[in-house]
Amino acid sequence: MPREPTLATATRRTPSNVTLYGLPRSVYTRIVRLTLEEKAVPYQVEEVDIFGPDGVPAAHTRRHPFGRIPVLTHGELSIYETAAICRYVDEAFPGPSLQPPTPSGRARMAQVIGLLDSYAYRPMVWGVFVQRVRIPTTGGSTDESLVAKSLKGSRVALAALSALVGDFPFLAGTTLSLADLHAYPILRYFALTPEGQVAIAEHRAVAEWMARLGTRASAERTVTQYEQTAS
């Protein structure tokens, strides 16, 4: 499989023994990449296409029993599930902590991540972005009824995020956390659609938060093919 060079790898002299198995266009792969970038961890991406015509590669099912991406290896250690990977990266490597110092802050972070996984990812990404952006690029037809249904759930999730962020600059308080890195790839894909742009603009706090995250070096280093096409 081809390996994608990253600035995190290229700009450091220390050899990397961290490998991320996934797809650069994948939301959850990008979440981990953002975390690695924010922690300045050298890493390499090993592309694994679980959506190809032959299904999940056999080698990958040995890494992940459910055939999902991403999987991270650090030396002999192998971890799957995005939230677990990101917590490991934050705690195993030096640099500013990406988890709030207080119990209430960490609870807020976990709440946001749970909200995103349970109520935002599916409608925003698969229900709106995939239908409106990805499927047409492959010659398929958008399921307008699915878009309409997914927009309802997406708006509920946006309202919940807006209420949680309030006047804080970040989703779990005053500093960047894993909650922000989990949210940005999901909302960024949603924002690539006309409906997503309108829905996000209705929540000033969320729109300002997205603009703030989008200027970070980690976001710029992990831009996906769909963002490049839209720019």
Domain-wise residue ranges, the chain:
3-92, 103-230
Q: What is the pLDDT of residues 59-94, one digit of tens each?
A: 999 999 999 999 999 999 999 999 999 999 999 999
CA–CA dist 95, 192 (Å, integer) = 32
Contacts of 190 (CB under 8 A, 6+ apart): 124, 125, 128, 129, 154, 196, 199, 200
Instruction: Print pLDDT tens along the chain (231 aa).
Output: 444 444 444 334 344 699 999 999 999 999 999 999 999 999 999 999 888 888 898 899 999 999 999 999 999 999 999 999 999 999 999 999 999 999 999 999 999 999 999 999 999 999 999 999 999 988 999 999 999 999 999 999 999 999 999 899 999 999 999 999 999 999 999 999 999 999 999 999 999 999 999 999 999 999 999 998 876
The structure's pTM equals 0.91
Of 120, 142, 124, give the one whose Cα is nearest residue 133. 142
Structurally, what CATH architecture does the domain formed by 103-230 represent?
A: Up-down Bundle (1.20)
Tens digits of per-residue pLDDT, 193-214? 999 999 999 999 999 999 999 9
Nearest one of 205, 127, 109 to 159, comparing CA atoms:
205
Q: Given CA atoms 196, 197, 201, 202 in this order, what sign does their dihedral have?
A: negative
Of 3.40.50.1970, 3.40.30.10, 1.10.10.10, 3.10.350.10, the CATH number of 3-92 is 3.40.30.10
Angle in degrees, CA 67, 71, 73, rounded to 5: 140
Residues 214/188, Cβ–Cβ less than 8 Å: yes
What is the largest distance, in Å, between two alpha-carbon atoms of the chain?
51
Name 227's Cβ contacts closer than 8 Å, sequence gap at least 6.
188, 192
Q: Which residue has the tokens 């831009």?
A: 223
